[in-house]
Amino acid sequence: MHRVLANEQLSPNVYRLVVQAPRIAEIRRPGQFVIVHLGPGAERIPLTIADVDAAAGTISLVIQGIGKSTLDLVELVPGDVIDGIAGPLGRPTELPEHGHAVCVGGGVGTAVILPIAQALHARGVAVTSIIGGRSREWVILEDELKACGEVVTCTDDGSYGRPGFVTTALADELARGGVDEVFAVGPVPMMRAVVGLTGPAEVKTTVSLNPIMVDGTGMCGGCRVTVDGIVRYACVEGPEFDGLRVDFNELADRQSTYRPFEKAALEHREACKIGLRTGAPVDAPPVGAGAGARP
């Protein structure tokens, strides 16, 4: 059992939960994730460990409330408990020893970038973070990243920082030269656009992938992705891969596979809430509401 100690809203649908998990806080390394199981009947959700406080025995999980299971999590309040948190899972980030790294975070993907930027900064690598959101209120973790180096903040609508996608700012950074490595995490179209820039510039690029995951131990095959023409299991061989070798088209296809089930589960959740208020009968929950991609 893991007690929730804090829940802070970071953007219109993104929340930071601070949860008791002393063993994970002690041994986790940047790039790793956990699988969270809220309670009986709940889906198992893979979530990046955005931050830890080893002394306090806590981990921070940044969650985008978009489907039934993630909404159940972001509605937790301090004192609530989560049944199970498995982890840390996945391979830690391979961090360079020196040089200049650019960390690109799109939307909630910025939460995955934060521990990487912190670890790079701690070992003396110069860090430039480029983060983006649809508009000002969707930008997250800007202050935390400023503690690691320069931050270029972009908004799609120009309401804050630099107008445009993170890739526009990255193109300028690459044109200036001196970039040794890029880490990019965010929506698939963003990561695909990033490697569209770093490939021709021949800059090493690491992306963190969030395919559907079920067990997180390499048994179910749900998280398979194709990298350099070879099938890889993101939960045990990733989640980070060489972005220049990832088949993003296949990843986008596989991520959309469970959308109808996710939609049905969300509609059932809403119907239950209305039923509670009005006493209206609610049908049985949909079968196979699907495992989640790492939000």
Residue 243 contacts which entry, ligand NAD, ligand FES, none (Cβ below 5-8 A, type-dependent): none
Residue 59 contacts which entry, ligand FES, ligand NAD, none (Cβ below 5-8 A, type-dependent): none
Contacts with 175 (C-beta within 8 Å, 6 or more apart), sequence order: none
Q: Specify the residue, 114 or 234, whose C-beta has the smaller distance to ligand FES.
A: 234
Contacts with 73 (C-beta within 8 Å, 6 or more apart), sequence order: 15, 17, 36, 38, 45, 61, 63, 65, 82
Work out how close the CB of 220 gets to ligand NAD at its nearest, in angstroms, rounded to a whole number: 18
Query: How many separate helices (H) and strands (E) can be counted in the chain?
Result: 9, 16
Work out how close the CB of 224 gets to ligand FES at its nearest, in angstroms, rounded to a whole number: 7
Work out how close the CB of 216 gets to ligand NAD at its nearest, in angstroms, rounded to a whole number: 14
Question: Binder to ligand NAD among 35, 61, 68, 165 (CB under 6 A)?
Answer: 165
Q: Specify the residue, 171 or 271, whose C-beta has the smaller distance to ligand NAD.
A: 171
Work out how close the CB of 275 gets to ligand NAD at its nearest, in angstroms, rounded to a whole number: 29
50 near ligand NAD, rule: CB under 6 A? no
Work out how close the CB of 45 gets to ligand FES at its nearest, in angstroms, rounded to a whole number: 12
Work out how close the CB of 276 gets to ligand NAD at its nearest, in angstroms, rounded to a whole number: 29
Residue 214 contacts which entry, ligand NAD, ligand FES, none (Cβ below 5-8 A, type-dependent): ligand FES
Distance CA 84, CA 20 (A): 11
DSSP 185-218: ES-HHHHHHHHHHHTTTT-EEEEE---B-SSSSS
Q: Give 242's DSSP letter.
A: E
Is-contact 154 161, C-beta < 8 A?
yes
Distance CA 141, CA 261 (A): 31
Token pair 């990298």 is found at 227
Which two structure tokens, joined as six digits, stand for 148?
């690691």
Q: Specify the residue, 217 or 256, whose C-beta has the smaller distance to ligand FES.
A: 217
Is-contact 58 20, C-beta < 8 A?
yes
Token pair 């030269």 is found at 177
Question: Binder to ligand NAD among 72, 142, 156, 180 (CB under 6 A)?
Answer: 156
Residue 165 contacts which entry, ligand FES, ligand NAD, none (Cβ below 5-8 A, type-dependent): ligand NAD
Contacts with 58 (C-beta within 8 Å, 6 or more apart), sequence order: 5, 18, 19, 20, 21, 22, 25, 52
Question: Binder to ligand NAD among 24, 59, 209, 212 (CB under 6 A)?
Answer: 209
Question: Binder to ligand NAD among 90, 107, 115, 243 (CB under 6 A)?
Answer: 107
DSSP E strands in 1-91: the ranges are 2-11, 14-20, 33-37, 44-53, 58-64, 81-82, 84-89
Q: What is the total count of residues that contact ligand NAD (CB under 6 A)?
A: 27
Which residues bind to ligand FES, rule: CB under 6 A?
213-216, 218-223, 233, 235
Interface positions with ligand NAD (CB under 6 A): 106-109, 112, 132-134, 138, 154, 156, 165-167, 185-187, 189-190, 193, 208-210, 239, 293-295
